[in-house]
Amino acid sequence: MAEDLITVKDLKMHFPLQKGLLDNLLAREKLFVRAVDGVSFSIKKGEVLGLVGESGSGKTTTGRMILRLLEPTSGEVFYNGRSIFSYSKSEMEKLREKMQVIFQDPYASLSPRMSIGKAISHPLKIHALYDKQEAKQVCLTIMEKVGLSPASFLYKKYPHQLSGGQRQRVVIARALVTNPDFVVADEPIAMADVSVRAMILELMVKLKKEFDLTYLFITHDLATCKYICDRLAIMYLGRIVEIGPLAEVFKNPVHPYTATLLDAVPVPDPTYKRTHPIPKGEIPSAINPPPGCCFNPRCHLAQKSCREHEPELARVGEDHFVACPVMSIKLRS
Amino acid sequence: MNNTILDIQDLKVEFPINIGTVRAVDGVSLKLNQGEVMGLVGESGCGKSTLGFSILRLLRPPGRIASGRILYHGRDIVSMDEKEVLKLRGRRIAMIFQDPLTSLNPLFSIGRQFVETLQTHEKGINKKQAILQAESMLESLGISKERLQEFPHQMSGGMRQRIMIGMGLILNPDLLIADEPTTSLDVIVEAQFLDLLADLCRQYNLTIILITHNLGNVAQLADRITVMYGGTLAEVGLSGDIFHTPLHPYTQGLLASIPNIKLDQPELSPMEGSPPDLVNPPTGCVFHPRCPQVMDICTRQRPPAFQKNGHQVSCWLYR
C-alpha cells in the first residue's frame, strides 16, 4: 500500500469581513466568512484526489492552503509526514519545487510579455537548478512532452500567438519543469472548449504516469473526474460531506448532496431522464452557515436532528466516508 | 403544421481586420420552425455567436453582413432600416447573454431596469402597470417580488441569470436567442435554469436558439441541433438523431470528446488539431485537415448540404 504524500488535518480558513468605522465604534461582533471549516483528508502517493464542489464551497481555498499560498486560521498540512507550516522560509522555497500548481485561466497566469520558453524555464531560474544552457534543454524537453511541438519553434512565441489549448499546455509544462511530485490542478479545463478539455485531460493522465505525479484535482464538473480521479471528496460550504473511491461514489452516492450533484450533470443523451427533481435554492452564505448540517435547508431527508447537530464523517464502506447520520443509519438497517 | 419563423439564406458575415478578412459565418442556410428549441453547437470561434448577433443586427463594426438574407416571418432583417430593426429587438426577438453581471446595470435596482425596458418599448404604459407586469414575471421565474427593490450585486449568479431571461421575455417576444446562458453557472443552478427554460418555452410558446459549446446541455432541451464548424454548418438534425447516429465526422468527434457520466466509457477520445484560421480557411471542406476520414475531393471542393436519413450533412461521405 502506498503511503500518504499529503495529509490535511482539520484545516480551517475564516476570512474576517472588513468592518466599517461605524461597526468599530459600536463594537459590533466581528463577522467571518467560513470559507473552509474543518477539512481533513489525505492523498496517497501516485493518487488523484478530486475535490469537487460548487463555487463558494471552499475547494480553491483548500488547494491554496495545501500549497501554503494562504496561511490557514487553524489546522495542519503534512507533506511526507512533516507539517509544511514548520518549514522555514528557505526550506519552503525548496519545497515549492516539489509542490506545483496549475490554475484555471491560462490567460491570467501567463505574462503577455514573457515568451513561452522564458515562462516555462522561469521556475528553473528561480530555483537555480541548472545553468542557462541546461535550462533551455530541460525546457525544450518538457515542451515536447506536453505536446508543444516543434518546441524550438514555439520557444520564442508569446502567449497571444498560441491557441487556448496550447496556452494551457504551457501552464502545465511550467508546473512540471521543476520535476514536482505533487500538483494542485485548480479547474485546469474549466475555460477550455469541450474538445480541448478532452485533450488536456488525456495529457494530464499521461504525464501523471510519466512523472509519477500525485494530483489534487479541483473541479466543479463531476463528469471530468471520471477520467482522471481515483478518489473523490465532495465539498459543501467549507466542509467535506462525502469522500470515497470514485467508482463507489458514482455508483452509490450516499450523501443527498452528492446524489444531487451527480444528477445535475448534463448527460449528452436526449432520451435521458433525471431520477430526482433538482432541489430549489442555492448554496447558502458562508458568513452565517445554517446550524447543524450545512445542507439541511435544501435536503429532502432533513430531520430535526439535522438542524441541531453538526454531522461528522462516518464510515459507510471500504474507504468511503459520509457526513450524513440519516443516510448512515438507513444503510446500516 | 409548423410555421417557419426564421429562414436564414446563405448568410455570410465578415470582419475585415488588418491581416485580411475573417469569414466568421460563411454561407449558412437554416430554417427555424415556430415553437421549437434549436441547439446551436460548436467550438469557440465557429461563428455560432456571430450568427446569433446577426439575427438581431447587433454585429459590432467592422463586422458586417456581406450577403444573404434573414427572413423573420417572411420579412428580411438584413435589408431593414435601423428603425424597423429597433422595433424587432426586444419586442419580437430577445437575446440573453452569457454573463448577467455585464448585462445588468449595477447602479439601478432590478425593478427600475424592468420598468425602463417596458417603457422604452411600450408607449403609454405607466410605472405602476410596468411594476405589476414585472412582479408577475418574477413570480413565473420563481423569485419573490420583493426582490425588485434589490440591485444585481445582491443576487446570486443563478438568480441574475433568471432576471436576465425575465427581462428578455417581459415584452413577450416569440424568438429568444440565448447565447451560452449557463456557462457561468454551477451544475445544479445550470440544471435548474435549463428546467426553467423548458417551462417558459411551453408557457410562452417560444422559439429558442440555444447557443452552447457543450452538447450535453442541449441534449434534453433541444428539438433539433445544428452543429457549426469554421463558420459553416456541419450537420443539422433532430436531437435524437444527432446524438444517436451522428453522420458528420466532426459531430462524431465532438460527441466522443464529451464526458458522459452515465456511460461506461473509460476514456475520452479527443479530436486532433485545432479549429481553422478563418482568415485563410482551408480549401475545400473546412474540416478536412482534422478529419479522420478525409478523401481526395475534400481538399478541393467544399461539400454542399446533403440530405441523409433526415439529417442535413455537409460532408462528401454522404454524396
Q: Is B216 on the interface with A (CB under 8 A)?
A: yes
Cα distances from A36 to residues A40, A103, A129, in angstroms, run: 11, 19, 35
Tell me: cis bond preceding B62? Omega within 30 of 0 counts: yes
CATH superfamily of A4-98+180-277+290-332: P-loop containing nucleotide triphosphate hydrolases (3.40.50.300)
pLDDT in tens, A118-130: 999 999 998 888 8
DSSP per-residue codes, B277-319: PSSSPPSSSTTGGG-TT--HHHHHS---PEEETTEEE--GGG-
Q: Is B273 on the interface with A (CB under 8 A)?
A: no
**Which of A55, A59, A148, A193 has the highest number of chain B CBs within 10 A, making it the mutation to test binding with B?**
A193
User: Chain A partners of B277 at a C-beta cutoff of 8 Å?
Assistant: none
User: Chain A partners of B261 at a C-beta cutoff of 8 Å?
Assistant: 222-223, 226, 250, 262, 265, 267
Q: Is B303 on the interface with A (CB under 8 A)?
A: no
Q: How far is B267 from chain A (nearest CA, A)?
A: 6
**Domains of chain B with CATH codes:** 1-92+174-278 (3.40.50.300), 101-172 (no CATH)
A160 pLDDT more than 60: yes
> pLDDT band at B314, cuts 50/70/90?
very high
CB-based contact A210:A145 (threshold 8 Å): yes
User: What pLDDT score does B217 carry?
Assistant: 83
Q: Interface pTM (ipTM) of the complex? A: 0.81
User: Chain B partners of A268 at a C-beta cutoff of 8 Å?
Assistant: 215-216, 219, 243, 255, 258, 260
Q: Is B267 on the interface with A (CB under 8 A)?
A: yes
pLDDT in tens, B234-286: 999 999 999 999 999 999 999 888 888 877 777 778 888 888 888 888 999 99
Of all residues in chain A, the one with the smallest CA distance to B191 is A264
User: Chain B partners of A261 at a C-beta cutoff of 8 Å?
Assistant: 187-188
Residue ranges of the domains in chain A? 4-98+180-277+290-332
> pLDDT band at A54, cuts 50/70/90?
confident
Q: Is the pTM of this model over 0.95?
A: no
A27 pLDDT more than 80: no
Q: Is A247 on the interface with B (CB under 8 A)?
A: no
CB-based contact A224:A197 (threshold 8 Å): yes
> pLDDT band at B9, cuts 50/70/90?
very high
For chain B, percent of residues with pLDDT exceeding 70: 99
Helix (H, G, I), strand (E, B) or coil at B102: helix
Q: Is A105 on the interface with B (CB under 8 A)?
A: no
Q: How far is A127 from chain B (nearest CA, A)?
A: 35
Would you state the cell numbers that stand for residue A173, as one nine-digit string?
Answer: 509544462
The mean pLDDT of B34-46, rounded to a whole number, is 91
> pLDDT band at A1, cuts 50/70/90?
low
B2 pLDDT more than 70: no
